[in-house]
């Protein structure tokens, strides 16, 4: 790739779920002090930037995605001064810092919402949120039939009779993005953090900010397309075209600052084409490619999502990004450990079939990493995937904390299984997550066998997931063909993906049930497992010089 292209076109960004990354003060919850102490680890891993899940002052109804003060750090995680030190230290290590911004909703403890509750129906304060009278003769029915992403209705009624909208938990009231105060406030928050040196933002629920002004009931069939080809029925609150106006204004704010500040959108769009609209010229820089994450372990499906992503994003001049896991979905090692790895749609929660075969999942996760890092564009690593952590699927019900568990009436265990604190060293919990002499156990219990997956246990073991990631990221940095750019598919047997990146690089991934011969090459640069007689076993990938 060109040496002058901005960093975000090819960056490998490491997601720090701060509660579960490293606990500096021994209270069982990860924090900024812990993260600062592990910056050398991230540097050595070879990533370019860290995205940090919300660290702002919050009552933690949704672990920080309910923000009460966007200009301060929650005491659980540290102080504003520590955040400033972290940004500076990360920069010294050559790592960029991308906090999360949560513009769709605030906490119900945010001063604006508190004032709105206090001021009562009809007040100006209520206009910053989405308050409505109820339906039915006594207003006891919600204003419409929208549902919360965490289960149950998306509306809660206050004692004064009015209802307010929350697409997530009741503690997360949705802001009214038709109100100028909301625009002004978020642009000011962006400037607050950009002036403190952050390199960009991950935008939470980027596709949800704008609601249909009349708040109509949901359409009968919620599909990506309805009616004639190319005709899309706009959803009343997801991925509405008007949302892009907000981001064009945000782009201008980012461009006020030197150093290529950038945004990444969390936008669950139905198609790569809809996703590309977020990253058109003058809009956001990048967006998570969830279509890739949601694709099953299938050569045709993967190839088609790769082609569509590159075509749609390329058409608007944006780089692709690739992501396999995050703090909201089952870890991919456990998804891929199912014999039948289905894809799923943005409107669904992933439902695994049968128990995971972790040996199979590990083999596929190793191969998937080589695929992801070889594709054109940027890539995301969710903390712990470089250690080969599986989803913890057997957390006792008594420890579950995700609001989804309660809101679903205990039918959906929620997302805690991918959020278990990660193991650093030692043979028993807390595996170096908390310091010696910690006063509390990790906020979620760690499995008894995670000592073998710790950073310490894997370091120097050439067969480990960690060393595979380290080597892949080193090669990616050094190889002129990798990062931003294009790819060319090469002929391959059914079930095998094989593509070339110029100059001189080939990636091959065997998703079939049969071993396949490696394509012509002058050297094997890296393989996800042992190669015998130049054959690639099922669920294996290799990088070749060719
Ligand atoms: C998406 C975040 O990734 C998720 O963790 C959160 O619960 C919702 N947005 C609501 O903010």
pLDDT tens figures, 234-267: 999 999 999 999 999 999 999 999 999 999 999 9
Closest by Cα among 307, 303, 309, 253 to 286: 309
Backbone angles phi, psi at 523, to 5 degrees: -160, 150
526: β partners? 543
- Position 232 scores a pLDDT of 61
Which three-class secondary structure state does DSSP give residue 545?
strand
Which residues does 227 contact at the CB level (< 8 Å), separation at least 6?
233
Ligand 1 center–CA 63 separation, angstroms: 9
Exposure string of 323-338, with b = 16+ CB inside 10 Å and e = fewer, is bbbbbbbbbbbbbbbb
Helical segments of 396-454, H only = 403-407
Interval 180-198 mean pLDDT? 98
Interval 154-168 mean pLDDT? 98
- Position 222 scores a pLDDT of 47
Task: Tell me the pLDDT band of 228, cut-offs 50, 70 and 90.
Answer: very low
**Percent of the chain whose pLDDT exceeds 90:** 93
Closest by Cα among 290, 269, 123, 110 to 186: 110
Q: State the Cα–Cα distance between residues 5 and 46, nearest whole angstrom.
A: 19
Q: State the Cα–Cα distance between residues 448 and 443, nearest whole angstrom.
A: 15
Backbone angles phi, psi at 131, to 5 degrees: -100, 140
Ligand 1 center–CA 100 separation, angstroms: 10
Angle at 22 between CA 16 and CA 26, to 5 degrees: 145
Query: Ligand 1 in contact with 62 (CB < 6 A)?
Result: yes
Mean pLDDT of the chain: 96
User: Is the pLDDT at 135 greater than 70, yes or no?
Assistant: yes
User: Is the pLDDT at 372 greater than 80, yes or no?
Assistant: yes
Helical segments of 69-179, H only = 80-92, 111-119
Closest by Cα among 431, 426, 425, 405 to 416: 405
Which CATH number does the domain 486-545 belong to among 2.40.110.10, 2.60.40.1180, 3.30.1360.120, 3.10.20.600? 2.60.40.1180
Tell me the per-residue pLDDT of 78-98, one tens digit each, with 9 for 90 and over: 999 999 999 999 999 999 999
Tell me the per-residue pLDDT of 451-502, one tens digit each, with 9 for 90 and over: 999 999 999 999 999 999 999 999 999 999 999 999 999 999 999 999 999 9
Q: State the Cα–Cα distance between residues 272 and 315, nearest whole angstrom.
A: 11
Strand blocks (E) in 22-162: 49-52, 56-57, 69-73, 96-101, 131-132, 155-157
Set 81, 256, 461, 494: catalytic member: 256
Q: Edge-to-edge, what's the strand order for the sheet holding 131-132?
A: 131-132, 163-165, 155-157
Residue extents of the structural domains in the chain:
7-105+180-469, 111-165, 486-545
- CB distance 54 to 83 below 8 Å: no
Annotated catalytic, 256?
yes
Task: Tell me the two tokens of residue 42.
Answer: 């991230």
Exposure string of 497-529, with b = 16+ CB inside 10 Å and e = fewer, is bbbbbeebbbbbbbbbeeebebbebeeebbbbb
CA 24 to chain centre: 24
Angle at 175 between CA 173 and CA 180, to 5 degrees: 160
Q: State the Cα–Cα distance between residues 353 and 150, nearest whole angstrom.
A: 22
Q: Which helix (H) or strand (E) holds 387?
A: none
Task: Tell me the two tokens of residue 232.
Answer: 């899309």
- Position 100 scores a pLDDT of 98
CA 512 to chain centre: 29
Counting atoms of ligand 1 from 1, which one is nearest the CA of 326?
Answer: 3
Task: Tell me the two tokens of residue 238.
Answer: 């997801």
Which residues does 498 contact at the CB level (< 8 Å), separation at least 6?
489, 490, 491, 492, 506, 507, 508, 509, 519
Quick one: fold of 111-165? Answer: Oligo-1,6-glucosidase; domain 2 (3.90.400)
Annotated catalytic, 204?
yes
Backbone angles phi, psi at 382, to 5 degrees: -90, 125
Tell me the per-residue pLDDT of 163-182, one tens digit each, with 9 for 90 and over: 999 999 999 999 999 999 99
Q: State the Cα–Cα distance between residues 368 and 238, nearest whole angstrom.
A: 30
Task: Tell me the pLDDT band of 99, cut-offs 50, 70 and 90.
Answer: very high
Ligand 1 center–CA 53 separation, angstroms: 9
User: Is the pLDDT at 51 greater than 80, yes or no?
Assistant: yes
Count CA atoms closer than 13 A to 480's CA, side-chain side: 5
User: Is the pLDDT at 2 greater than 90, yes or no?
Assistant: no
Helix axes 465-478, 358-374, angle to 10 degrees: 10
Measuring from atom 6 of ligand 1, which residue has the nearest CA? 65
Q: State the Cα–Cα distance between residues 218 and 298, nearest whole angstrom.
A: 33
Ligand 1 center–CA 214 separation, angstroms: 25
Task: Tell me the pLDDT band of 347, cut-offs 50, 70 and 90.
Answer: confident
Residue from 15, 165, 168, 408 whose mutation best tests the ligand 1 pocket (most atoms within 8 A of CB): 168
Set 23, 48, 204, 270: catalytic member: 204
Counting atoms of ligand 1 from 1, which one is nearest the CA of 168?
Answer: 10
- Position 9 scores a pLDDT of 98
Measuring from atom 2 of ligand 1, which residue has the nearest CA? 204
Beta strands 69-73 and 56-57 are antiparallel
Interval 18-31 mean pLDDT? 98
Interval 126-135 mean pLDDT? 98
Task: Tell me the pLDDT band of 290, cut-offs 50, 70 and 90.
Answer: very high
> How many of the other CB atoms lie within 10 Å of CB of 414?
22
**The domain made up of 7-105+180-469 is a member of CATH 3.40.50.920:** no
Give the position of tokens 């470089």.
386
Q: Taken in order 280, 281, 287, 291, is the CA torsion positive or negative?
A: positive
């Amino acid at each position: 790739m060109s040496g002058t292209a901005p960093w975000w076109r090819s960056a490998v960004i490491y997601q720090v779920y701060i509660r579960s990354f490293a606990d500096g003060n021994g209270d069982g919850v990860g924090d900024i002090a812990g993260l600062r102490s592990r910056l050398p680890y991230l540097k050595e891993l070879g990533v370019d930037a860290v995205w940090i899940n919300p660290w702002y002052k919050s009552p933690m109804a949704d672990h920080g995605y309910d923000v009460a003060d966007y200009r301060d750090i929650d005491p659980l995680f540290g102080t504003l001064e520590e955040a400033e030190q972290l940004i500076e230290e990360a920069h010294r290590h050559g790592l960029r810092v991308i906090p999360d911004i949560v513009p769709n909703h605030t906490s119900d403890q945010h001063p604006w919402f508190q004032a709105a509750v206090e001021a009562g129906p009809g007040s100006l304060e209520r206009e910053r949120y989405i308050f409505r009278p109820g339906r039915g003769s006594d207003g006891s029915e919600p204003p419409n039939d929208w549902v919360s992403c965490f289960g149950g209705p998306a509306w809660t009624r206050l004692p004064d009779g009015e209802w307010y909208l929350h697409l997530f938990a009741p503690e997360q009231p949705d802001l009214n993005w038709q109100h100028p105060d909301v625009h002004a406030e978020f642009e000011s928050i962006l400037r607050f953090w950009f002036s403190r040196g952050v390199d960009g933002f991950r935008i939470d629920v980027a596709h949800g900010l704008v609601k249909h002004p009349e708040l109509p009931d949901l359409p009968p069939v919620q599909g990506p397309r309805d009616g004639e080809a190319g005709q899309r029925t706009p959803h009343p609150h997801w991925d509405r075209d008007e949302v892009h106006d907000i981001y064009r204004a945000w782009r201008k704010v980012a461009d006020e600052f030197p150093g290529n500040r950038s945004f990444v959108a969390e936008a669950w769009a139905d198609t790569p084409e809809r996703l590309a609209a977020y990253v058109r010229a003058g809009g956001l820089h990048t967006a998570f490619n969830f279509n890739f994450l949601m694709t099953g372990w299938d050569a045709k499906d993967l190839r088609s999502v790769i082609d569509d992503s590159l075509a749609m994003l390329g058409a608007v001049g944006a780089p692709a990004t690739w992501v396999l896991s995050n703090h909201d979905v089952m870890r991919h090692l456990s998804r891929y450990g199912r014999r039948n790895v289905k894809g799923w749609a943005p409107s669904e929660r992933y439902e695994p079939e049968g128990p995971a075969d972790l040996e199979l999942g590990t083999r596929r996760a190793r191969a998937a990493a080589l695929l992801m890092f070889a594709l054109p564009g940027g890539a995301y690593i969710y903390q712990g995937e470089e250690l080969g952590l599986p989803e913890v699927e057997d957390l006792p019900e008594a420890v579950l904390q995700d609001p989804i568990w309660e809101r679903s009436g205990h039918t959906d265990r929620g997302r805690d299984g991918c959020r278990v604190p990660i193991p650093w060293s030692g043979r028993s919990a807390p595996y170096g997550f908390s310091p010696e002499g910690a006063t509390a156990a990790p906020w979620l219990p760690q499995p008894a066998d995670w000592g073998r997956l710790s950073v310490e246990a894997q370091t120097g073991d050439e067969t480990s997931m960690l060393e595979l990631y380290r080597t892949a990221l080193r090669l990616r940095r050094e190889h002129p063909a990798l990062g931003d750019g294009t790819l060319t598919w090469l002929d391959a047997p059914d079930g095998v993906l094989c593509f070339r990146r110029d100059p001189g690089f080939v990636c091959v991934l065997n998703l079939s049930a049969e071993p396949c011969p490696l394509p012509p090459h002058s050297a094997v640069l890296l393989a996800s497992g042992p190669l015998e007689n130049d054959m690639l076993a099922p669920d294996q990938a290799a990088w070749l010089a060719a």
